[in-house]
Amino acid sequence: MFTFIAHRLLSAVPVLATVAVVVFLMLRLTPGDPAAVIAGDTATTQQVAEIRGKLGLDKPILQQFVIWAGRGLRGDLGESFFFKKPVSELITQRIEPTLSLALATIVLAVLIAVPLGVLAAQRAGSLLDRCLMGFSVLGFSVPVFVIGYLLIYVFAVKLNLLPVQGYRRIAEDIYDWAIHLVLPSLTLAVIFVALIARMTRASVIEVLTEDYIRTARAKGLTRRVILIRHALRNAAIPIVTVIGLGIALLIGGVVVTESVYNIPGLGRLTVDAVLAHDYPVIQAIILLFSFAYVLINLLIDLTYSFFDPRIRY
């Protein structure tokens, strides 16, 4: 097991290195000049050139990359062009809202989607099954921002039950922290529910046709025991896999959702950094998201052995 974990972590190094190179080149080669954004519309060409020199953008691209990579290996992510703060400090300030939103979304989606998928599989072909799967398709097809504004209109504007926007840190008030996360996490969870519920339904239906399920029924086991102890456990690996793959959707959805609900997280920071052409911030956030994706996939792989003891690493 230790060898497997070490191998996976080491294999993440070339992945992150490739991501770093690609992101660095894409940012430098795309149109837009951070110096011009910082200087403003009324700045002269000489003023823009002076700012480029201070930021180190007048050096060759290869030299810029070597300087940035060298600092990164020492744990120095650089200083933001736009915010004039260390990038590590900006990320530390913004990571709590993003982690809170992501964890709340995953927990909410799993608690809703898995029972819905099992229920649909148990009554496959019925009106309930068709309604649940129709809802799943609709939830997966509608853009995140449309769902967000619809929920805001219903629950915040019309019913006045939940706050429209904003975020409260957990250390300040845990109730306000939770109440401000309801709408954003529900907005993202709609997509996850659609994805996980469909996979749960398909996996459970496939397992229910196996011989050991018929044997369990012949032995007189209740439907609930068969579904939970036998069917769902053996169908868990595809479900866990799709949860891991859905992290990519979550990363993209967080950016949009934090903008809709004005949450000061990494997603909102990414949008602000892109608009300002803030290279150090964009590079650091993308690397952080990439590492998180690799780590989550490692954790997903490790859970396989829990659901299926035949899997050994």
245 and 291 housed in the same domain: yes
Residue 156 lies in a domain: yes
22 and 130 housed in the same domain: no
- pLDDT means over runs of 10, the chain (313 residues): 72 81 83 78 80 83 86 84 88 90 89 87 80 77 85 89 88 90 90 85 84 81 77 81 77 81 89 86 87 81 73 62
46 and 184 housed in the same domain: no
Cα-based distances in Å from 246 to 17, 194, 195, 286: 23, 11, 8, 17
Q: Pick from 16, 42, 73: which residue ends a domain?
A: 73
Placement of tokens 């997903």 in the chain = 300
- Asked if 148 and 257 count as a contact pair (C-beta separation under 8 A), the reply is yes
Separation between Cα atoms, residue 124 and residue 119, nearest integer Å: 8
pLDDT at 184: 92
Assign residue 208 the CATH number of its domain: 1.10.3720.10
Separation between Cα atoms, residue 82 and residue 280, nearest integer Å: 10
276 and 199 housed in the same domain: yes
33 and 158 housed in the same domain: no
- Asked if 34 and 55 count as a contact pair (C-beta separation under 8 A), the reply is yes
Residue 86 lies in a domain: no
Q: Pick from 12, 42, 73: which residue ends a domain?
A: 73
Q: Pick from 17, 43, 73: which residue ends a domain?
A: 73
* DSSP per-residue codes, the chain: -HHHHHHHHHHHHHHHHHHHHHHHHHHHHSS--HHHHHH-TT--HHHHHHHHHHHTTTS-HHHHHHHHHHHHHTT---B-TTT-SBHHHHHHHHHHHHHHHHHHHHHHHHHHHHHHHHHHHHTTTSHHHHHHHHHHHHHHHS-HHHHHHHHIIIIIIIS--S-SS----TTT-HHHHHHHHHHHHHHHHHHHHHHHHHHHHHHHHHHTTSHHHHHHHHTT--HHHIIIIIIIHHTHHHHHHHHHHHHHHHHHHHHHHHHHTT--SHHHHHHHHHHTT-HHHHHHHHHHHHHHHHHHHHHHHHHHHHH-TT---
Domain that holds residue 232: 93-307
Residue 275 lies in a domain: yes
Name which of 277, 254, 274 is nearest 264 in CA terms: 254
10 and 140 housed in the same domain: no
Residue 85 lies in a domain: no
What does pTM read for this prediction? Answer: 0.82
Residue 280 lies in a domain: yes
Residue 82 lies in a domain: no
pLDDT at 276: 83
104 and 241 housed in the same domain: yes
41 and 153 housed in the same domain: no
13 and 134 housed in the same domain: no
pLDDT at 313: 58
Residue 119 lies in a domain: yes
pLDDT at 182: 92
Residue 312 lies in a domain: no
- Asked if 133 and 120 count as a contact pair (C-beta separation under 8 A), the reply is yes
Cα-based distances in Å from 222 to 126, 211, 229, 233, 234: 21, 16, 11, 16, 17
239 and 273 housed in the same domain: yes
69 and 119 housed in the same domain: no
Q: How many domains does the chain have?
A: 2
pLDDT at 257: 87
55 and 165 housed in the same domain: no
pLDDT at 206: 85
